[in-house]
Amino acid sequence: MTVQEFRRLFPILERKVYGKNLVYLDNAATSQRPQAVLDKFVQVSRESNANIYRAVHKLSAEATDYYEQAREATRAFVNAASREEIIFTSGCTAAVNTVAYSFGEAFVGAGDEIVVSECEHHSNLVPWQLLCQRKGAALRILPIDDQGHWDLGLLKTLLGGVPSGTQAGTRSNQRVKLVAVTHISNVLGLVNPVEEVIRLCHAAGVPVLVDGAQGIVHEKVDVQAMDCDFYAFSGHKLYAPTGTGVLYGKKSWLEQMPPFLSGGEMVGTVTLEAATFAGLPHKFEAGTGNFAAVATFPEAFRTATLAREPRLASAFEATCAYLETALRGRSDLRLYGDTAPLPASVSDKYSVPYRRAGVFSFTIDGVHHEDVAQILDKMGVAVRSGLMCAEPVIRHFGREGMLRISLAPYNTMEEVEYFIKCLDKAVNMLR
């Protein structure tokens, strides 16, 4: 399939804004939805709209079937060992909060530690801050260097402690109870070495949550090969509707964790005094799920899989490379995050090479990011500007905000060329 053919699957890309062709370069915030996803949502809403699991009637059975087909599609998409390990949530944020609360209740106490990195989205930072405040635990930070890389030697130091085995679901006498890191930063766009982090953490008996909101979009994720304990992502960045998300968790952990939200359908028996809980995954799915939206997951995953086929994947790489070269060609522009590690002469830290995945954040001397974004908008180009819900990483580079271009496989070379021209014009207007 060519980029043009892939692009035609997304009707919104035909629209105009302010009389100009829409050039949508804000895909890391929300990707666009293909017609197949829109159709499925409408079909389930029009033909099979009834509460899932609750009733014996035909419509409820159909809606439930769609929901469970979506669960199986999700299991297969991330290669989880069983459907019990796939929890549907309202998004990545809700998935991380579920672990912060439920894992926190079961395994985190006063004096314990949680490790997050300096380049986390607020969704994988603030829930851990609140957990630590609730429990009297300490939040430890794995810093980034000026390339945007983690120092894995420092991670080893943070883990300190006595190695206590890698068995998922076993308690350890480690002070660090969990490491929560992002697969791909929504600012730096670098693919972080999460496999290596997991290996180091497991050697120290520490489980790992991976925030996959961006990672699931650009990387083929196999949770069993990765061996993460939890993997969280949103549907709306992966061609599905908003209000959908997934928490993958190893069964051995999920079984030991108390529920987060409570209410209908997550229970076994209920008396006026107490309740027992349903088995996995329902224990973590209180209330009526967003079933018509979740039902579109098979179509969304098919779209993502299509985008990874060699022809589209290499076109995407070429478009990204073209954009990066153009950005680096401006002497007044600073692009954040670098794939090359610092040379050994400058740093003796334990680092690995990085790759960039479709996300480019930068600043331009003498112009404000917000002003540039507003002018680009009037030219039909949608980009992100500001703190991007990741204030600490922006501050690391001494900035008040940045501009971000995030590409999807439906973005064409011509769109990137147009964006570069518009950027020149915008900057000239502002100087």
Q: Which positions from 14 through 53 interact with ligand PLP, judged by CB under 6 A?
A: none
H-run or E-run covering 371:
helix 369-378
Q: Which two tokens stand for residue 299?
A: 């179509």
Among 31, 74, 117, 123, binds ligand PLP (CB under 6 A): 123
DSSP letter at 134 equals H
CA dist list (Å): 79 to 88, 298, 310, 314, 404: 16, 14, 21, 24, 31
CB of 300 to ligand PLP, least distance (A): 14
- The least CB distance from residue 233 to ligand PLP, in Å, is 8
Given candidates 98, 182, 319, 385, which one binds ligand PLP under the rule CB under 6 A? 182
Does position 408 interact with ligand PLP (CB under 6 A)? The reply is no
For residue 178, list its beta bridge partners. 114
Q: Which residues touch 94 (CB under 8 Å, ≥6 apart)?
A: 245, 247
Q: What are phi and psi of 234, to 5 degrees?
A: -105, 150
If one asks whether residue 98 binds ligand PLP (CB under 6 A), the answer comes out as: no
Contact between 428 and 336 (Cβ < 8 Å): no
124 interacts with ligand PLP by CB under 6 A: yes
CB of 174 to ligand PLP, least distance (A): 25
Closer to ligand PLP by Cβ: residue 122 or 302: 122
Q: Contact between 121 and ligand PLP (CB under 6 A)? A: yes
Check binding of 406 to ligand PLP (CB under 6 A). no
Distance, C-alpha 16 to centroid of its chain: 29
- Judge contact between 279 and 84, C-beta under 8 A: yes
x/- contact string, 229-248, with ligand PLP (CB under 6 A)? -----x-x------------
Q: Work out how close the CB of 182 gets to ligand PLP at its nearest, in angstroms, rounded to a whole number.
A: 5
CA distances 201 to 3, 104, 166, 180, 233, Å, are: 40, 18, 8, 11, 21
Between 51 and 90, name the residue whose CB sits nearer to ligand PLP. Answer: 90
Strands 16-17 and 20-21: antiparallel
Q: In the complex with ligand PLP, which residue's Cβ is closer, 64 or 406?
A: 406
Binding of ligand PLP at residue 211 (CB under 6 A)?
Answer: yes
Phi first, then psi, for residue 319 (nearest 5°) are -65, -45
As to burial, measured by CB atoms within 10 angstroms (0-12 exposed, 13-18 middle, 19+ buried), residue 56 is exposed
Question: Which of 32/234 has CB closer to ligand PLP?
Answer: 234
Residue of the chain from 92, 108, 198, 295 that contacts ligand PLP (CB under 6 A): 92
Q: Which amino acid is at 101?
A: Y
CA distance 177 to 59: 44
> Applying CB under 6 A, which part among 72-80, 88-96, 296-304, 418-426 lies near ligand PLP?
88-96
Q: Is 398 left (phi over 0), alpha (psi -120 to 50) or beta?
A: left
Of the pair 123, 412, the CB lying nearest ligand PLP is at: 123
Minimum CB separation from ligand PLP for residue 284, in Å? 16
CB of residue 180 vs ligand PLP: minimum separation in angstroms?
11
Residue span binding ligand PLP (CB under 6 A) among the ranges 119-127, 171-179, 188-196, 400-408? 119-127
Is 207 a binder of ligand PLP (CB under 6 A)?
Answer: no
Spatial distance between the Cα atoms of 113 and 341, rounded to a whole number of angstroms? 28
228 an active-site residue?
Answer: no
Among 32, 102, 186, 351, binds ligand PLP (CB under 6 A): 186
213 binds ligand PLP (CB under 6 A): yes
We find the least distance from the C-beta atom of residue 213 to ligand PLP, in angstroms, to be 3
What is the sign, positive or negative, of the torsion defined by CA atoms of 386, 92, 226, 291? negative
Q: SS3 for 232?
A: strand
Distance (Å, rounded) from C-alpha 118 to C-alpha 233?
19
Contacting residues toward ligand PLP, per CB under 6 A: 91-93, 121, 123-124, 182, 186, 211, 213-214, 234, 236, 389
- As annotated, the active-site residues are 389
